Amino acid sequence: MTRTSRTLPAANTRPTPADEPVIAAAVLAERAVTDLYETLLSNGALSNDMRQVAGLFRDHHRAATDVLKALIGTAAPRGRNDFVYDSYSAAMKGTNMSSISGALRGIENTLVATHLSLLEKLEGTMGANKIAAILTVEARHAAVLATLDGAPLDAALVNDAAPLTLDGATS
Amino acid sequence: MNRINRRQMLGLSGAGALAAFLAACGKQAGVTESANIRALGVTEDLPGLPNEVIDDVVLLRTAASLEYTAIDAYEAALNLGVFTGAAAALRSVASRMRDDHRGHADAVNGLVVAAGGKAFTCANPRFNEVYLAPALAAITAADNADVAGDVLALAHGLETVAAQTYQSVVGLLSTPALRRAAMTIGQEESRHAAVLAQAIKPGAAGVGPSVDADGRALIAAVPSAFGELTAVPLTLGPVRADGSRFQVSLETPSLNSFIYPNVTCA
């Protein structure tokens, strides 16, 4: 093997002012999904297995919200993305586990698509690294929900959800 | 008559010795210079190491090499003939994932070429040497009682490392567009890993982190709240005479396994 010296690219860069609304949009989306899982967990019809999984995934979204908030400090918004919450809250109160699972998969896939689109807007690499670490787990969420529901392999592996825009709706 | 006292004599002999020493260090008449004969006080410049800049092309070529490593691993698994009986359904899963990696390899190499580099169309030699070849040797050992289970564990490990690789380069790639492109593929590797984890430990019990009776971490579909970049431990192959099994920790490519511009397919 040829011995060489190596020059690595620059280290982490903090979020720029232009990054703040981008990360804020991610905070609002993550908080909306945390609230959707909370709504689901108060659903008495939930199976024990689904309750266990939903509790875990809610914790992950809550952790993602906290990490993203910490990135932008006082610029972090309060509240949630109401478009996301309102779009799925009725489904969280249903009794058909397969329908609930399908809705959750849609939520997770929407978040993955959204985070991917936000990655292309972020200038600072600290924010990009955090978003990448979050979306890779949410992709796992979506795949697990499809697998637990016995859905075809494509449902676990393919994401055709549209991303949310910075103002909260889907693009 | 000049008289030289003892002190002068000592001074003269010291000067004479110094002159003789310096003469010995210098060039001598009639002696051919040779690089093989070193003269005191004269050293040659040490050759410097060539500097390899780790840029977008290197990072993306490395990612492409891991895609080919995964393709090779799935090909090897499919050729083992272990996906039969209860594991028959996994054959189509393995084929699908191999095909996905082919698509990923083409996509990443497209980015490499767009960034001004040369596509890399074979497996990562260092990764294969250190991880894949020993792992496959352990799996195919004659007395291995669970070849299918070990194949799944290896595939899960490779998918996890592939996802980690894309995540790990996000902060190193130079443009937001490349970061998005990398994670578009990376999240698909994560989905592969989750599906394989569910094949290994199905149901809700296999989703979150858990441990076996000895406290060892079991494979989980979603082991943490954030994508981890830690090594992926694998235990494979038959139980040896001392009660141990082959162990390896898969790690994302680094300085010794990056695919620099001078690395070519053998």
Residue the block writes with tokens 């210098």? B26
Q: List chain B residues with CB under 8 Å of A4.
A: 49-52, 260
- Rounded CA-CA distance B137/B47 in Å is 40
Query: What confidence tier does B3 reach under pLDDT thresholds 50, 70, 90?
Result: low
Alpha helices in chain B (DSSP H): 6-25, 56-79, 89-114, 125-127, 133-139, 147-169, 176-200
Q: List chain A residues with CB under 8 Å of B179.
A: 119-120, 122, 128, 132
Instruction: Give tens-digit pLDDT for B57-74.
Output: 999 999 999 999 999 999
Q: Do B54 and A133 touch (CB under 8 A)?
A: no
Instruction: Give tens-digit pLDDT for B27-36.
Output: 556 666 666 6
CA distances in angstroms from B239 to B106, B138, B235, listed in the order given = 39, 10, 10
The predicted structure's pLDDT at residue A2:
46
Least CB-CB distance to A137: which of B53, B179, B225? B225
Give A19→chain B minimum CA distance, Å. 12
Counting Cβ atoms within 10 Å, is residue B38 exposed (0-12), middle (13-18) or buried (19+)? exposed
Instruction: Please say whether the beta carbons of B123 and B65 come within 8 A.
Output: yes
Instruction: Give tens-digit pLDDT for B216-263.
Output: 889 999 999 999 999 999 999 999 999 999 999 999 999 999 999 999
Q: For chain B, what percentages of helix, strand and coil (3-state, to nearest 5) are there?
A: 50, 5, 40
- Rounded CA-CA distance A80/A127 in Å is 19
Q: Do A132 and B207 touch (CB under 8 A)?
A: no
Which carries the bigger pLDDT value, residue A11 or residue A31?
A31
Q: What percent of chain B has pLDDT over 90?
A: 75
Joined together, the tokens standing for residue B125 give 């030699």
Which one, of A84, A102, A101, A99, lies nearest residue A27 by Cα? A84
Strand B246-250 to strand A5-7: parallel, antiparallel, or no bridges (unpaired)?
Answer: unpaired
Mean residue pLDDT across chain A: 93
Least CB-CB distance to B204: which of A1, A49, A112? A49
Query: What confidence tier does B17 reach under pLDDT thresholds 50, 70, 90?
Result: low
Give A62→chain B minimum CA distance, Å. 9
- Rounded CA-CA distance A75/B212 in Å is 44
Q: Do B188 and A139 touch (CB under 8 A)?
A: yes
Cα-based torsion angle of the residue sequence A65, A67, A68, A73 in order, rounded to the nearest 10 degrees: 110
Query: Three-state SS for B173?
Result: coil
Query: What confidence tier does B86 reach under pLDDT thresholds 50, 70, 90?
Result: confident
Q: List chain A residues with CB under 8 Å of B174.
A: 9
- Rounded CA-CA distance A84/A169 in Å is 8
Instruction: Please say whether the beta carbons of B144 and B237 come within 8 A.
Output: yes
Which one, of B227, B229, B246, B240, lies nearest residue B131 by Cα? B246
What are residue B96's phi and psi, to 5 degrees? -60, -45
- Which positions ≥6 away from A77 have C-beta within 8 Å? A24, A27, A28
Least CB-CB distance to A116: which of B92, B183, B260? B183
Instruction: Give tens-digit pLDDT for A18-57.
Output: 999 999 999 999 999 999 999 999 999 999 999 999 999 9
- Rounded CA-CA distance B105/B120 in Å is 9
Q: Do A1 and B163 touch (CB under 8 A)?
A: no
Rounded mean pLDDT, B95-116: 98
Q: List chain B residues with CB under 8 Å of A122.
A: 176, 179
- Give the nearest chain A residue to B94 (CA atoms): A153
Lowest mean pLDDT among A9-13, A62-66, B204-208: A9-13
Which one, of B157, B150, B169, lies nearest residue B238 by Cα? B150
Mind giving me the DSSP string for A27-52? HHHHHHHHHHHHHHHT-TT--HHHHH
Instruction: Please say whether the beta carbons of A112 and A138 come within 8 A.
Output: yes
- Give the nearest chain B residue to A1 (CA atoms): B256
CA A130 from chain center: how many Å? Answer: 12
- Rounded CA-CA distance A117/A154 in Å is 22
pLDDT at A1 over 50: no
Q: Do A133 and B167 touch (CB under 8 A)?
A: yes
Instruction: Please say whether the beta carbons of A124 and A13 come within 8 A.
Output: yes
Give A86→chain B minimum CA distance, Å. 25
Q: Do A117 and B183 touch (CB under 8 A)?
A: no
Q: Do B226 and A63 touch (CB under 8 A)?
A: yes
